[in-house]
Amino acid sequence: MQHLKNLKKYTPDDEYSLFLMKEHSAEFFISEDGRDWYKSQADFLPDTLKIAYDEAGIIRSISKDVSSIYPRGFSVVEVDITKANKSVDIFGGWVFDNGEIKPRQYSQEELRAQAEEKKSELLSAAAVAIAPLQDAVDEEMATAEEITMLSEWKKYRVKVMRVDTKKPEWPTPPGS
């Protein structure tokens, strides 16, 4: 199984590569042990999964076709295709660590940032729900049901606003 670590952009010294760089803006990459990315692609097996991961081990690209991976700043490793590996994605929730693919363990700071993002999204969704209900009330056109829903959405928005993102406990939106 191949493993090219810390692929960085470099300039090869052969004429053809220099021509490709000049005429076609081709980029060339080399691993920390001096292996050229394009020359090494032939060493990867066709029936394996190729994983590109960043310096923190976070998986950023997955493909069976090694040539479809843009490796700049990443390490690329091939692993067997297993049932467990088929559930891996590139959205930041998986890492390659000590030869294994594992769910990412988020730091407290990362978890708080995720909670802040969710809080912002929930507040925006509440504002969208409240606006037309508030318009109906302001124009004295609201039904009893709309007045009730407006009150429920406003209470929900206040509860979301008060969520402590260090230990988030999310309220249930109205109508759920």
Residues 6+ apart with CB under 8 A from 82: none
Structure confidence by residue, pLDDT tens digits, 43-54: 999 999 999 999
Structure confidence by residue, pLDDT tens digits, 86-102: 899 999 999 999 999 99
- Give the per-residue pLDDT at 113: 97
The string of DSSP letters for 11-72 reads: ---SHHHHHHHHHH---EEE-TTS-BHHHHGGGS-TTEEEEEE-TT-BEEEEES-GGG---T
- Give the per-residue pLDDT at 139: 97
Q: Which residues of the chain have pLDDT under 70?
A: none
For residues 156 and 128, give the distance between their C-alpha atoms in angstroms, rounded to a whole number.
Answer: 13
- Give the per-residue pLDDT at 151: 98
- Give the per-residue pLDDT at 76: 98
38: which 2 tokens? 């394009």
At 114 the three-state DSSP class reads: helix
At 107 the three-state DSSP class reads: coil
Residues 6+ apart with CB under 8 A from 78: 1, 2, 3, 44, 45, 48, 49, 50, 51, 66
Task: Calculate the dihedral angle through the C-alpha atoms of 13, 18, 26, 35, rounding to the nearest 10 degrees.
Answer: -10
- Give the per-residue pLDDT at 176: 83
For residues 72 and 170, give the distance between their C-alpha atoms in angstroms, rounded to a whole number.
Answer: 39
Kind of pairing between the strands at 75-80 and 59-63: unpaired
Prediction pTM value: 0.74
- Give the per-residue pLDDT at 29: 98
